[in-house]
Amino acid sequence: MLEIWGRPYSSNVIPVIWTANELGLDYTLQLAGGSFGKLDTPEYAKINPNRMIPAIRDGEFALWESLSIVRYLCDRYGAGGLSPSNPQTRAMADQWMEWSASKAFMPVIYLFFATVRTQPSVRDPSKIAALRDEAHAALSILDSHLAQQAYVCGDRFTMGDIPLGCVAYRYFNVDLDRPALPNVEAWYQRLAERPAYQDHVMRHFGSNPDEWAALEVACASEGVI
């Protein structure tokens, strides 16, 4: 059976869990990283010598790095579906996955850490505003791309939407005012209709570090993965 190693609230693990559920795969989540530990064990070093999450073990095959795992799962279990069969369409999916990592992810995750993962008493409003503007500038590129199509590769959902869909959830659910992105917002609402997105991406993450930590532990202890 497929094993996914990581935490259910980790920004890099969530795309892997979402992918596995979109594909209808049977898997076990091995809780690791953060408060769950296990990364320094000899067993985990054989799976990922970097001792970071996520990683997977699919039979005897081990793989690490979030986007590589998403691609592998889609290629092996979703060829012609989440992994487009047309080479140019697949290349476009790959392009937007890379763009998510290089352009959109960092300002949004830094914004998340500057708000949700920072105690309210020590938050820096100017830093938060600058990160919001940087995130908006990046997502404006996606907004223009989505003006004439429902998903990043055209009229159907593919692996190209997965990393960006995780970024979008955090961006739209941090408690702050943000400029409109009408096409991204419409795409985000389409994603929000997908059961696997609802169950594995759209998790309330609290408004401060204490709430965030408690929610992650509760999610794991209840077996909601």
Q: Select from 34, 49, 81 the last residue of a domain.
A: 81
Residues 69 and 149 in one domain: no
Tell whether 108 and 156 lie within a shared domain: yes
The per-residue pLDDT for range 181-207, each reduced to its tens digit, is 999 999 999 999 999 999 999 999 888
Asked if residue 222 has pLDDT above 80, the reply is no
- Per-residue pLDDT of 57-114, as tens digits, reads 999 999 999 999 999 999 999 999 999 999 999 999 999 999 999 999 999 999 999 9
Average pLDDT over the chain reads: 95
pLDDT at 41: 94
- In the predicted model, is pLDDT for residue 224 greater than 60? no
Residue 218 belongs to a domain:
no
Lowest-pLDDT range of 122-131, 133-142, 156-165, 203-212: 203-212
- Identify the domain containing residue 91 by its residue range: 87-213
Report, as an integer, the average pLDDT of 126-138.
98
76 & 131 share domain: no
SS3 for the chain, per residue? CEEEEECCCCCCCHHHHHHHHHCCCCEEEEECCHHHCCCCCHHHHHHCCCCCCCEEEECCEEEECHHHHHHHHHHHHCECCCECCCHHHHHHHHHHHHHHHHHHHHHHHHHHHHHCCCCHHHCCHHHHHHHHHHHHHHHHHHHHHHHHCCECCECCCCHHHHHHHHHHHHHHHCCCCCCCCHHHHHHHHHHCCCHHHHHHCCCCCCCCHHHHHHHHHHHHHCCCC
Task: For residues 153 and 52, state if they share a domain.
Answer: no
pLDDT, mean of residues 146-166: 97
Q: State the pTM of this model.
A: 0.94
* pLDDT given at position 3: 97
Domain-embedded: residue 220 = no
